[in-house]
A and B are shown apart, each in its own frame.
Chain A
Amino acid sequence: MRSSSAILRVSAFLAMGAGALSCSDYLTVENPSVIAIDEIDPMADATTLSNSAHQNFATAHGWLIMYSGWFTGETDVSETFPTRHDFGRRAIGPTNTNLNTDLWAPLSLAIASSYIVLEVNLPNPDANLDYVRARHALAWAYLFMAEQFCSGVARGGPELNTAQLLDSAVVHFGAAVTGGNANNSAEGVALARSALVGRARARLQAGQKAGAVTDANAVPAGFTFNLLYFDDLSRRTRLGNRLWQFTADRGSIGVAPVWRVTDPRLKWRLAPSNLLPQDGSYVLNRGAPHAVQDEYPAFNTPIRLASKLEADYIAAEAQSTAAMLTLIQARRSANDQPAYVGPTDAASVLAELEDQRGREFYLEGKRLGDLRRNGPAVRYAPAPGAPYWRPGAAPIGNQTCFPVPQVERDNNPNLSP
């Protein structure tokens, strides 16, 4: 009995000792749902990182188009979320939960992930395609932040005003143009040309008209750069076309009545039976049938980001009223519209140019920048003080841009008081 007890005792202590010694292995973290940072080699995985950063911008781009479409009156909020109606009402509080989640955070991710690539010492820096890709995404993200937000922030830094954001966009577009052309691959050249359009747009927004014209004119005829999307049922929020997602899955986007005109550039239709609005009483409250956009009829429909056509509009607006009038007539003619016969003073022509531009680039996320740049010339935006169409809602506010979310102000020491 005593010997067996001794054996038991010794065994127990040995087991405990072995257990203690193996604790370090036993306690190793095992969670393949996340990727530890040291499992990525920034040099070897630079292509993955740069493409991911570019996708981050493409994802943010969908959100930005959708919300700015509501904000500028291109579309109606045909769903029930009060926080989304605040965008339709141009009265967005800094604590609006969609403001950060759907807009600020995705755009910030695009900026931060692009910088991660730029901080890696990659070979052939002057023509490295990963750098070009990251610069391209970064520059466009800066431009959208400048156009849509009243001010901006990059990577926890200080608050940047619109001019500073546009400057940053111009710098990075420039690097993308140089690097893309130097790389000389098909993708590199396409990115460079897209960056050229982007720089023209940024310069126009910043009032640097000469530079805008120069860039716009440098874009080759027929050029178009699309952001591509993909239909993966499990990844639709990241990879899918956001406009279609919120048209089809959620019933959130109704084409505003003023845009329901016959023009081949405006693709819309009255909602079929399977695309009814989430807010079942939208039709009653709006006083108009539910119409859905037909620009993006599938999850994998690409979205045009940059084009020679936009470069032409930029050049015309930056040059003169006459140039604008010429472009207006050309575009009306090309799209089965009667010739423009309205007043030809500068303001009227600019307003007409904005109308044409609005049709040309319907639901491409350019309208809010136009609104900020040309104000009253941009028609059909919800008028401040006017009643909102939805019963019980407060009237239209007077915002012209999105505020920086409160969560950024609270947690960024550069913005906190």
Chain B
Amino acid sequence: MRTITCLAVVLPLTGIVLPVARIEGQSREVVVLRSTTGVRPETGSVLLRPAGLAVDNMPLATALTRLSETSKVSIAFSPSFLPQGHRVNCRCETVTVATALDYLLGGTNFGYVVLDDQVLVSPKPSIKADDRYVPTAALGAVTLDAGIRLAASALPGFLTAQDRTAISGTVTDAATGQPLADVRISVVDAALQSVSDGRGLYRLTGVPVGQVMIQARRIGYRAMDRSVTVPASHPLTVDLALTPSVVTLNEMIVSGTAGDLTRKAQSATVAEIGVSDIAATTPARTLDQVLQSRVPGVSVNAGSGASGTTSEIRIRGAASISLSNEPLIYVDGIRVTSQASPLFFTASFFLGGQVPSRLSEFDPKEIESIEVVKGPAAATLYGADASAGVINIITKKGPAGSRRFTQSIGAEYQHIDPNFVPPANYDRCTAPLVAPTSPNPLCRGKAVGELVSDNPLVREGVFRNGSTKALSWSGSGGGPTFGVFLFGAYETEDGTLPNNGFDRRSGRANFTWTPASKFTVDVNAGLHRANISLPNNNDDGHGYLAATIGTPLTRRDDGVDGPNGWFKPDGAAIALIENTQQTHRVTTSLSATFAPWPWFTHRVTTGADWGRDEMLRYLPKNSRSSYFGSNTGDLNVARAGFERYTFDYLGNARIPTGSTIVHNLSAGFQVVSSRQELLQASGVGFSVNSNNLVGAAAAKGADQSYFLQRQVGFLGQWQGSYRDRLFVQLGARLDANSAFGDVADWFFLPKAGISYVVSEEPWWQRQIGFVNTLRLRLAYGQTGRAPNAGAALRTLASAPYVTILGTQQPGVVPLSPGNDSLKAERGVEFEAGFDAGFFNDRAGIEFTFYNKVSRDLLLQRPLSPSLGFSQTPFVNIGELSNRGVEVAFTAQPILGKTVSWDVRVGLSTLDSEIRDMGGVAPFLTAGGANRVMVGYQPGVFIGNRIRSIDVASKRVIVSDTAEVIGNTMPTIEGNVSTNLTLFSRLRLYALLDGKAGYYNYNLNDLFRENSLIRSNLRLDPTALSPEERLRRFGDETPGRPPFVRENGTPATINEVRDAYVQKADFLRLREVSATLTVPASWAAYIRAQGATITVAGQNLALWTKYGGVDPEVISSTRSGGSDAFNIFDFLGLPPTRRAVVRVNLQY
């Protein structure tokens, strides 16, 4: 600890006697300045003392003297320099000294600074500093010689170019000494930002001369705030060493809050994912993969291994039964479309769960971070559509003021292994097939009844190794007042099936402009173009996997057309089927921040998300019987467009009262407008395949759909803080949505919360030393989810009729009886938890308990079908509860320059239960195996349970009615990831994750063993034990029912399915990687300034007792509503295994 002695220095120009501090042991004096009028004083500053002043029409000098008396703060000024005759009023009894001074000096040419405990009032015009300013190695202080004329040299908004200079330096990891990239360095109150490059270098230009506060922020490191005094004579070098930390209470977050944006001020959990690191050092290539197993409570399930397909994302379980449970997606503050084109959910493009991914339209390399707003407690400010959570994607920005341009080039290759051996088909030879003249090569010459097998997929070598090739470039830099980030990427992937793959092109240009210190504008634009080709699969007779239900008895070698062991079309014919989507998308946003006064900020964010999908499905004309029904060519084309516009305004006032209390008042409004349209045409019958246009078809059809939905919300929030460690939030939002028309009541969404950083109490460290950080938090909030526009209306649907003359005329049929009192679902959430850091924040834990209740749950109360409506209306009658705990434990057991090791453990539980269905009878989802019923998770698997098995009599007794078998959503999810860094250059990483407490419906086996008998387990009597045979197939005696209910009536295998709804618990080695940071001298050989090489693997091992290929396969579209709970595994492609090589170069 250095001691400081106060001296006095005379400012020549002003004549003011300026106290100056002298640091013991140094020859030069140090002045610690508070430079900026109105900025938030530091904790403990005299400026935070109560002013206690009340003056009316009083000369300024007298008022300043009076303020000094009432506040007991020494205020130095020169009366003769003050504007003569200037009189002031000030009702400043309850405000701070800073606020009072702001007010008294407003309109004058005077500002003030703080020198130790004394306030100095001096003229604002800066006095050019000269070369007497000399930077020191010690940050936060600057030495100076006598004759200082600093005064208000750093007052923002009053500086000329000559009053600005530059700061540059290197950011390193304090533990390892290695350079740190992607550290965001900013100058407080000057709206200047920079981002360190791959060598840890950063540069800020246009920095005001004088004392400034610089901040350094990076996920995973303790936030650093440094006060430095910037000389005008030459650029200042400030090297920063950031300390790794698992507790990040001082991080800034931008999602779901207003006012004080530091994490410690937030009462509800907002998780942040540092995407840059993940994209650089793990095999994750898509945003789905980036989100997977990173945040407790966020469940990501890739239902298909087909290239280009999406994953299902659930945050804290399912918030709704009838509406989509996908979270809202925001990019740089504007809401974007996350749903795939609606056509993929229709019969004409039925590809099951193989739905193109919208999230993949954003490349992780263009993203700085992702914030996950988990539930209503945090999502209230997002309005009545956010109950399933919000994912906010924050793209990279150019470092304004850096005055240089850095570039990064990335190249990647992935080898894709199908990771799947399809099962062989079995059957018993029949008499005609064993004859010498039999066309069947498998049975010819065999005995009648002999078991033969065939595996068309293996026989014809359908599966192949796929590959991904990706190339990306990014550049970022900036001038004195602007920053720019540019990004471009190309990626192409061949899937493991012949007609599966994609190529994507992405581009982004983000521009930041700071024309004045009070005004910042961000303009962001992202472009995306993709061509995706998907195979047929998932409960599709034209699919490759349908070959697993073909029969060897159809094999023939006589050249006659037929299935030849396939289910219907053979592999060559399936490969000719085209399912393509071409996507063009533009996502733009503009965000402007204007701070007219230091205590007040306006922020306007507006933007648009435009996109168009062009889809084609073509079953080609052929001379064989390749496809069901038609061999003349069958075409479906569609164009689906979406537009979403967001306008968001937020005003924030920061009002200190006294020295310890600060109020943040925020108010704003948000408007979101979404439009979707679909134009579809079809044609059957073509003369040649090259002429496959709708106009050339023998028969044609067309369809169109369109809807527009708008949402308006007004929000307000008060946030109070006490000594910057106790925070209270009260907020609300009023929302309206066009789903209900203009007559519906506004939707009121309150929120409240407390956050208390106990460990910042002075007594804490004395009492509990090893727990160096502890924050307690408690939050309550509400949000909602609305159905599509028109859901409340009584409606008819267009339905043509055939006239007596055989022509077609427009007609109508009843559609929905409507519901005048329809409103949005209301998600009400309470969460409580703590964040703790131990051993100097080397270990940390985040614990959260949440209880999320969806009230006014929208259910489609089934109508009596005899009423004649084809659509059941929504009614707000149900209640769904999701509760659980989320634990994130992180530790850095070893932290050194040669070896460092960190471990992260995530765990979440989910206890989901439908509490009330308002009298609606339990109902089945489309597949018939999942039921929505009170007392259980939505969509639990049901079936008639086996009560007893008598091997001797072959009698299998089952329950009289269908009973619950198990959950569809995991009740426990966990993951462990670890990084081991050796010699600061080699980073080894692994991620192991698992899910438990849920089931999947192995419809593959049920179908192969019972519906179409193709399985050796069924056909080979020795393959299973007698008891297991009975459990699966029941009594196989001809003429006897397979299963018998307890009441004596027969039951079918489809009703029982007890053996096929199987536990899906699994443990998976999801990711491993090794990343080498190449020495700079090596990188220099290719003129690079830095380079990394990553070798990684994905899905390398799976441990499960599930009887199917992979427990994560889900073959249904899960397009939302109760279909989301229609869970089964049938003819789906399992997740692939990948090997990755990636090189990143920095220039």
> Which one of A110-118, A259-267, A308-316 is at the interface?
A110-118
Determine whether A155 belongs to the interface, using a CB cutoff of 8 Å to chain B.
yes
Say whether B601 faces chain A, with CB atoms less than 8 Å apart: no
**Could you tell me which residues of chain A, from 60 to 116, have a CB within 8 Å of some CB in chain B?**
80, 82-83, 93, 95, 97, 100, 104-105, 108-109, 111-113, 116
Closest chain-B Cβ to A186's Cβ sits at a distance in Å of: 8
- Alpha-carbon separation in the docked complex, A281 to B425 (Å): 12
Any chain B CB within 8 A of the CB of A361?
no
Among A156, A233, A284, max chain B CB count under 10 A is at: A233
A231 contacts across to B, CB distance below 8 A = 699
Whether the pair B430, A27 counts as a contact (CB closer than 8 A) is no
Chain B: which residue is nearest A28 at the CB level? B742
Q: Say yes or no for A124: interface residue by CB 8 A criterion.
A: no
User: Would A51 and B801 be within 8 Å (CB), given that A12-B649, A156-B867 are in contact?
Assistant: yes
Given contacts A23-B736, A30-B708, A239-B802, contact A155 B625 (CB under 8 A): no
Interface: A366 (CB within 8 A): no
Interface flag for A296 (CB, 8 Å) = no
The answer to whether A232 touches B788, judged by C-beta atoms less than 8 angstroms apart, is no
CB-contact partner of A33 in B684, B705, B1018, under 8 A: B705
Q: Is the CB of B801 within 8 A of A55?
A: yes
Contacting residues of chain B (703-720) with chain A, CB-CB under 8 angstroms: 703, 705-708, 710, 712
A contact residues around B671 at 8 Å (CB):
19, 26
Size class of the contact patch on chain A: 35 or more
Q: Mark A44-63, 1 if CB is under 8 A from B, else 0.
A: 01001101101110100000
State whether A30 touches B701 (Cβ < 8 A).
no
Given known A27-B710, A387-B1039, contact A234–B703 (CB-CB < 8 A): yes
Q: Chain A contacts of B861 at CB under 8 A?
A: 411
Q: Is the CB of A30 within 8 A of B789?
A: yes
Check if A27 sits within 8 Å of B742, measured CB to CB: yes
Q: Does residue B928 face the partner (Cβ distance < 8 Å to A)?
A: yes
Q: Quick one: which of A16, A36, A233 contacts B669, CB cutoff 8 A?
A: A16
For B924, list chain A residues within 8 Å (CB): 95, 97
Find residues 389-417 in chain A having any chain B CB closer than 8 Å to their own CB. Answer: 391-392, 394-395, 405, 407-408, 410-412, 415
Nearest-CB residue, chain A, relative to B815: A34
For A54, the chain B residues whose CB sits under 8 A away are: 801
Task: Indicate whether A368 reaches chain B with its CB closer than 8 angstroms.
Answer: no
A281 adjacent to B554 (CB under 8 Å): yes
What residue in chain A is nearest B1033 (Cβ atoms)?
Answer: A392
Q: Given A105-B870, A154-B866, A233-B684: A82 and B630 within 8 A (CB)? A: no
Cα distance, A233 to B636, chains bound together (Å): 10
What separation, in Å, do the CA atoms of A15 and B743 have in the docked complex? 22
B554 and A280 contact, CB distance less than 8 A: yes
B868 touches A108 (CB 8 A): yes
Contacting residues, chain A, for B1052 (C-beta < 8 A): 82, 394
- Chain B CB within 10 A, most for which of A40, A58, A104, A412: A412
- Knowing A56-B813, A281-B551, say if A19 contacts B864 (CB, 8 Å): no
- The 0/1 profile, CB within 8 Å of A marked 1, for residues 234-273 of chain B is 0000000000000000000000000000000000000000
Does B1085 touch A at the CB level, under 8 Å?
no
Q: Across the interface, which residues of B come within 8 angstroms of A32, CB to CB?
A: 706-707
User: Which single residue of chain B is at the shortest CB-CB distance from A302?
Assistant: B806
Q: From the candidates B566, B793, B867, B1055, name the one contacting A36 in the complex (CB within 8 A).
A: B793
Q: Which of B430, B799, B928 contacts A52 (CB 8 A)?
A: B799
B7 at the interface (CB under 8 A from A): no
Q: List chain A residues, Cβ under 8 A from B794.
A: 36-37
Q: Considering the chains assembled together, what is the distance between the CA atoms of A43 and B921 in angstroms?
A: 38
Assess whether B1094 is interfacial by the CB under 8 Å rule: no
Q: Which of A58, A116, A156, A385 contacts B802 (CB 8 A)?
A: A58
**B415 an interface residue at 8 Å Cβ cutoff?**
no
Query: Per-residue CB proximity of B518-530 to A under 8 Å, as 1/0?
Result: 0000000000000
B residues 1017-1066 near A (Cβ < 8 Å) are 1018, 1033, 1036, 1038-1042, 1050, 1052-1055
For A128-163 the 0/1 string (1 means CB < 8 A from B) is: 000000000000000000000000011111000000
Least CB distance, A60 to chain B, in whole angstroms = 11
B residues less than 8 Å from A16 (CB atoms): 669
- Expressed in whole angstroms, the minimum distance between the Cβ of A5 and any Cβ of chain B is 5
Say whether A248 faces chain B, with CB atoms less than 8 Å apart. Answer: yes
Asked whether A360 is an interface residue with its Cβ less than 8 Å from the other chain, the reply is: no
Chain B residues near A93 (CB, 8 Å)?
1055
Name A239's closest neighbour in chain B (CB-CB): B802
Q: Are B625 and A276 in contact, with the CB atoms below 8 A?
A: yes
What is the bound-complex CA distance between A173 and B745, given in angstroms?
49
Q: Is the CB of B563 within 8 A of A104?
A: no
Interface residues of A in 1-42 (CB under 8 A from B): 1, 5, 8, 12, 16, 19, 23-37, 39-40
Once the chains are docked, how many angstroms separate the CA of A105 from the CA of B872?
12
Asked whether any CB of chain B lies closer than 8 Å to the CB of A223, the reply is no
Partner of B742 from A8, A24, A284 at Cβ < 8 Å: A24
Cβ contact within 8 Å between A37 and B795: yes
Q: Do A29 and B596 form a contact, CB below 8 Å, given A36-B795, A55-B799, A407-B862?
A: no
Asked whether any CB of chain A lies closer than 8 Å to the CB of B948, the reply is no
Decide: B430 and A155 in contact? CB cutoff 8 A. Answer: no
Complex alpha-carbon distance, A97 and B809, angstroms = 31
**A52, B813: Cβ atoms under 8 Å?**
yes
What per-residue 1/0 map shows which CB atoms of A240-283 lie under 8 Å from chain B? 00000000111100000000000000000000011110111100
A232 CB contact (under 8 Å) in B630, B808, B866, B870? B808
Known contacts A33-B706, A34-B795, A408-B865: does B870 contact A274 (CB below 8 Å)?
Answer: no
B796 beta carbon closer than 8 Å to chain A: yes
Residues of B within 8 Å of A273, CB to CB, are 561, 624-625, 631
Given known A-B contacts A23-B742, A31-B706, A230 and B868 have beta carbons under 8 A apart: no
Judge whether A48 and B812 touch: CB under 8 Å.
yes
Q: Return chain A residues, CB-CB under 8 Å to B790.
A: 29, 31, 33-34, 36
CA distance A55 to B809 in the complex (A): 11
Q: Is the CB of B701 within 8 A of A5?
A: no
CA distance A249 to B634 in the complex (A): 11
Q: Does B752 contact A (CB under 8 A)?
A: no
- The listed residue (A45, A274, A279) touching B625 by CB distance below 8 A is A274
Closest to B565 in A: A280
Q: Tell me the complex Cα distance, A161–B461, Å.
A: 59
Question: Within 8 Å of chain B (Cβ to Cβ): is A238?
Answer: yes
Flag if B799 contacts A248 (CB, 8 Å).
no
CB <8 Å contact, A394 and B797:
no
A115: nearest chain-B partner, CB-CB: B868
Report how far A216 CA is from B1118 CA in the complex, Å: 54
On chain B, the residues within 8 Å of A234 by CB distance are 680, 682, 701-703
Q: Which residues B677-707 have CB closer than 8 A to chain A?
A: 680, 682-684, 697, 699-703, 705-707
CB–CB B541/A411 < 8 A: no
Q: Which of B538-553 contact A (CB under 8 A)?
A: 541, 550-551, 553
Contacts A80-B1012, A235-B701 given; does A26 touch B738 at CB 8 Å: yes
5 contacts between A and B (CB under 8 A): A37-B795, A100-B865, A280-B551, A281-B553, A411-B921
| Additional 4 contacts, C-beta under 8 A, given A239-B808, A248-B630 | A49-B811, A51-B809, A111-B868, A156-B864
Which 9 residue pairs spanning A and B have beta carbons closest together? Answer: A112-B868, A233-B701, A234-B701, A52-B811, A55-B801, A31-B790, A412-B864, A249-B629, A273-B625
Give A residues with C-beta under 8 Å from B.
1, 5, 8, 12, 16, 19, 23-37, 39-40, 45, 48-49, 51-52, 54-56, 58, 80, 82-83, 93, 95, 97, 100, 104-105, 108-109, 111-113, 116, 153-157, 187, 190, 228-235, 238-239, 248-251, 273-276, 278-281, 284, 300, 385, 387, 391-392, 394-395, 405, 407-408, 410-412, 415
Which B residues contact A (CB, under 8 angstroms)? 427, 430, 541, 550-551, 553-554, 561, 563, 566-568, 596, 602, 624-625, 628-631, 649, 651, 669, 671, 680, 682-684, 697, 699-703, 705-708, 710, 712, 736-742, 788-790, 792-804, 806-816, 818, 861-870, 921, 923-924, 926, 928, 1007, 1010-1013, 1018, 1033, 1036, 1038-1042, 1050, 1052-1055
